[in-house]
Structure 1
Amino acid sequence: MEHLVMLLSKYVMIFVFLMYTFECFHVFRYTNNKEKQSSVYKKQRRKIFILHFLGFLVIFISTLNPFIIGFYLMQLVLFNGIFLIYKLFYKKASELLLNNMCMFLSISFIILTRISVEKAVKQFFILLVSACFSLLIPLTIRNVKFFRKFTWLYAAVGLVALLVILLAGRTSYGAKLSVSILGFSFQASEFVKISFVFFIASMLEKGVDRKKMIITTSIAALHVLVLIASKDLGSAFIFFMTYTMMIYVATENELYLLGGFVSTFLGLFVASQLFNHVKQRVVAWQNPLSVIDKEGYQICQSLFAIGTGGWFGLGLCQGRPDKIPVVVQDFIFAAISEELGGVFALCIIMVCISCLLMILNISIEMKDSFYQMVALGLGTTYAIQVFLTIGGVTKFIPSTGVTLPLLSYGGSSLLSTMIIFGIIQGLYIIHYDRYIDKNDKGGGTKKVLKPFDGGEVSGESKYTLEEYD
């Protein structure tokens, strides 16, 4: 009976997540119908709780650990609390981004609890703190108007934080990544990438003349060079590509984009020659089986796990994710693929894409150039981080030691990603508010403009205006 429940739950979880993923894109069919969109989002939330319940049911059946029940209920309260706060205080927020965030968090807790209950509990309390902090961010972004004025503060804080890591950071897998403060490990680059985006956005808002471009490029280069000196090449790549995309969009000059890609490949080649740990990762990427006992062990175990899982996975608690080094951080995607299957893993990629499309859509629709650049920069940062993580796990690119946002274990990564999603929600609310006709108090016929995620908003725009009674 136990085996039958676990087998059925595996396929139900896959089906539920597959339907959820379909709805992430299908909902845009109802752009002009808020009621139908709201119905889809409610269905998505039900699927989040169904998948979350099934995952912990299987873990409990496998372990018979009564703590699993209590831990599940703690998460249930937290998720409901997040949804309730958004419903009460952020009615104009993007429900799609909120649902995707909670879906990823639920999957993360399922797989972390299956691998290590201790780490899952630590991650829960980090999430609790992160949620309390990040839930204030949309309100702050909406009401505080002077973020664009802190240009040099963003640059100074970012560079100082990275220099602290360079001088006093703890070396992990060949790179200086973090520093311990009061017993807590703190990875500065996870937060500096946010201040970096705000710095670039505030500089580009002032103009794209030659002088400002030289200054912006110089400060951005300092960020990247400090990261390279710390041998944190994954973060350096994220910073540089984010800068490249923001500069390209601001100037509409293809030479910046071309130069950025050429510089990236040249830099990676030079790094592979200068840094031994990078050279080892390149060797492991080129032919992992030839060095399976050394550099290639991690990537080989990852590929074995993904291959063993196949399309539908072995089922929760049926695989051996513990065989993969650093599995809960850099290689969480391989553990998910092994136990929940390739279909489930592909759905994760598609949901990540839906998050990116939503963020880029917000960037395109923002009329304020500063907010537009902020949304673009944060969306690019998120996309590159997902690409580096999944690309490294699947041997598409050399491993970079970057975590998968919202899914991997790690306090700095979780908090920074929650902050990013909070900022994007704040920008979405600003966009929504901008088109609401607050002066229209009377009845009769009024003109409204449909925003890209439902609702009714007023104002002048390139959109077609519709009349309502």
Structure 2
Amino acid sequence: MVNIIIELSKYIIIFLMTAYTFSCFSIFVQEYEESERHILIRQNILMFLIHFMAYMVMYLKAGEQKLIVFYGCQVVYFIAVIVLYRIIYPNVSSLIVNNMCMLISIGLIMITRLEFADAVKQFIYAIVGAVIGLVVPVIIRKMKTLIDWTYIYAGVGFAFLCLVAVFAATSGGAKLGFTIAGFGVQPSEFVKILFVFFVAASLQKSTDFKNVLITTAIAAAHVLILVLSTDLGAALIFFVVYLVMLYVATRQPLYAIAGIGAGSVAAMLGYRLFAHIKVRVSVWKDPFASYNEGGYQVAQSLFAIGTGSWFGMGLMQGSPDLIPVAESDFIFAAIAEEMGLIYALCLILICVSCYVMFLNIAMEIRNQFYKLVALGLGTCYIFQVFLMIGGVTKFIPSTGVTLPLVSYGGSSMLSTMIMFGIIQGLYIVREDEVEKRELKRARKERVVRNETGRTSKKNKTKFEEVPKQRIR
């Protein structure tokens, strides 16, 4: 009976996941607020059903009481996050909140299946991230001086990257961060937020050639120190984010072409100078030919994805633990093996719907600084998703970055939740702008009506007086 339930559960979970993903995009075409509210409530129900089904399967398979306790704690957490956001910020984007909780729940499910101790740590990070995320929108909305800290953002970010380059231990061929009290800290995850604020503040003040040159030099210094630390994934994210923000701010195709050219040259030099890069490119070309020389991880990832096929092996039915560091760098492959490619594709689409909301905010907000911040954070988020999934599927060479909110990693979890908190703050700022415009329009219409009323009355008086004069 247990085996039948486990086998049926994967199809039920895929159906629920598909329904949730469909709602992420159907909400964009709704014309009435009531319809949107029903879709958002339906999303919450679907998320909790998927979450329940997954932990029920793990409990039936493992029979460990700690899974029930852990599941209960997560349910309380998700309810608290959803309710607190709606109480504290009535104008918040509920779709972003729902997607954030959904992605966290997907990650916790798979990490629990792989390593329970890591799942507990990840849950602690999620709690801390939620607390910070609830405070960030207030800061974004109330602090009007964020645009004035241009070189503070750059200085603090560059200093942290230099500390990593000098003092951090090498792990997996790269210097990523430090371990404090058993918890890993990766500063580049937080510096990318400071980097976006620096670029947005600098380009908002001026887009003349001199300022663009200075901004480019500082941005290049960030990328260079990451390359020297062999943190190639972060370096690529910084580079692409800057290029996108620069093009949008200046609308100069020449800058984009020059940036792509410089990036291509830098990639060629990096390939010749760093053996670490040569190994990854070799693995990307043919992971099976270099199976014992760095290709084992990518090969196992491809085996897992192929084994899972469309509907997956079923939770607790596959062998994702054969993939090295599956809980962090290759969690997408683990998900594809046990939950199936349909589920994995839905996961990608949920990430895309988050990015669509980021772009929506960037296009509609009038403040140029905030517009660039929303664009930069959105680009940073979706490009990291692309790098992670592209590396796992051998579409591009593996860069070792995590899947935001899904992969195991405290720094990634905290930085992404801060990013989502900033986006929520910008969403509230946009709503404030809309309310101000509507209020101004209403006042203008009231004044026009009053003036029209007085004019009509005046004209009527004159009209009545003229006939009287004529009668006389």
Percent of aligned pairs with the same amino acid: 49
Give, in angstroms, the shift of residue 317 of structure 1: 0.3
Give 1:406's aligned residue. Answer: 405
The answer to whether the 8 A contact 2:104-2:405 is kept is yes
- Distance in 2 (CA, whole Å) between partners of 1:402 and 1:380 is 15
Matched, 1:292 2:284: no
Q: What amino acid is aligned across from residue 344 of structure 1 in structure 2?
A: Y
Give, in angstroms, the shift of residue 20 of structure 1: 0.6
Alpha-carbon distance change, 389 to 438 in structure 1, aligned in 2, over 3 angstroms: closer
Give 1:70's aligned residue. Answer: 69
Give 1:377's aligned residue. Answer: 376
Alignment of 1:240-255 (within 5 A): 240-255=239-254
Q: What amino acid is aligned across from residue 272 of structure 1 in structure 2?
A: Y
- Distance in 2 (CA, whole Å) between partners of 1:304 and 1:182 is 36
Q: What amino acid is aligned across from residue 103 of structure 1 in structure 2?
A: M
Alpha-carbon distance change, 292 to 160 in structure 1, aligned in 2, over 3 angstroms: same
Q: What amino acid is aligned across from residue 2 of structure 1 in structure 2?
A: V
Matched, 1:346 2:356: no
- Distance in 1 (CA, whole Å) between partners of 2:239 and 2:352 is 21
Give, in angstroms, the shift of residue 211 of structure 1: 1.4
- Distance in 2 (CA, whole Å) between partners of 1:113 and 1:180 is 22
- Distance in 2 (CA, whole Å) between partners of 1:184 and 1:152 is 30
- Distance in 1 (CA, whole Å) between partners of 2:354 and 2:402 is 17
Matched, 1:356 2:347: no
The secondary structure found in structure 2 opposite 1:293 is: helix
**Which one is further off, 271-280 or 228-237?**
271-280
Give, in angstroms, the shift of residue 261 of structure 1: 2.3
- Distance in 2 (CA, whole Å) between partners of 1:177 and 1:123 is 19
- Distance in 2 (CA, whole Å) between partners of 1:438 and 1:375 is 21
Give, in angstroms, the shift of residue 104 of structure 1: 0.5
The answer to whether the 8 A contact 2:183-2:410 is kept is no
The secondary structure found in structure 2 opposite 1:290 is: coil
Q: Which runs of 5+ in 2 are unaligned?
A: 447-472
**Which one is further off, 306-315 or 266-275?**
266-275
Give 2:306's aligned residue. Answer: 307
Alpha-carbon distance change, 212 to 21 in structure 1, aligned in 2, over 3 angstroms: same
Give 2:223's aligned residue. Answer: 224
Q: Higher Cα Rg: structure 1 or 2?
A: 2
- Distance in 1 (CA, whole Å) between partners of 2:284 and 2:359 is 31
**How well do the aligned residues superpose, as a CA RMSD in angstroms?**
1.6
- Distance in 2 (CA, whole Å) between partners of 1:181 and 1:408 is 20
Q: What amino acid is aligned across from residue 42 of structure 1 in structure 2?
A: I
- Distance in 2 (CA, whole Å) between partners of 1:269 and 1:137 is 40
- Distance in 1 (CA, whole Å) between partners of 2:432 and 2:321 is 48
- Distance in 1 (CA, whole Å) between partners of 2:20 and 2:216 is 41
Give, in angstroms, the shift of residue 291 of structure 1: 1.2
Q: What amino acid is aligned across from residue 390 of structure 1 in structure 2?
A: I
- Distance in 1 (CA, whole Å) between partners of 2:57 and 2:228 is 46
Q: What amino acid is aligned across from residue 177 of structure 1 in structure 2?
A: L
Give 2:422's aligned residue. Answer: 423
**Which one is further off, 260-269 or 171-180?**
260-269
Give 1:25's aligned residue. Answer: 25
The answer to whether the 8 A contact 1:194-1:420 is kept is yes
Give 2:467's aligned residue. Answer: none
**Which one is further off, 405-414 or 253-262?**
253-262
Q: What amino acid is aligned across from residue 14 of structure 1 in structure 2?
A: I
Give 1:326's aligned residue. Answer: 325
Deviations 1:105-146 (A, max 9, x none): 111111010111110011111111111111111111111111
The secondary structure found in structure 2 opposite 1:185 is: strand
- Distance in 2 (CA, whole Å) between partners of 1:154 and 1:369 is 18
Give, in angstroms, the shift of residue 266 of structure 1: 2.4
The secondary structure found in structure 2 opposite 1:325 is: coil
Give, in angstroms, the shift of residue 269 of structure 1: 2.2
- Distance in 2 (CA, whole Å) between partners of 1:101 and 1:276 is 37
Deviations 1:88-116 (A, max 9, x none): 11111111111110000111111010111
Alpha-carbon distance change, 438 to 246 in structure 1, aligned in 2, over 3 angstroms: closer
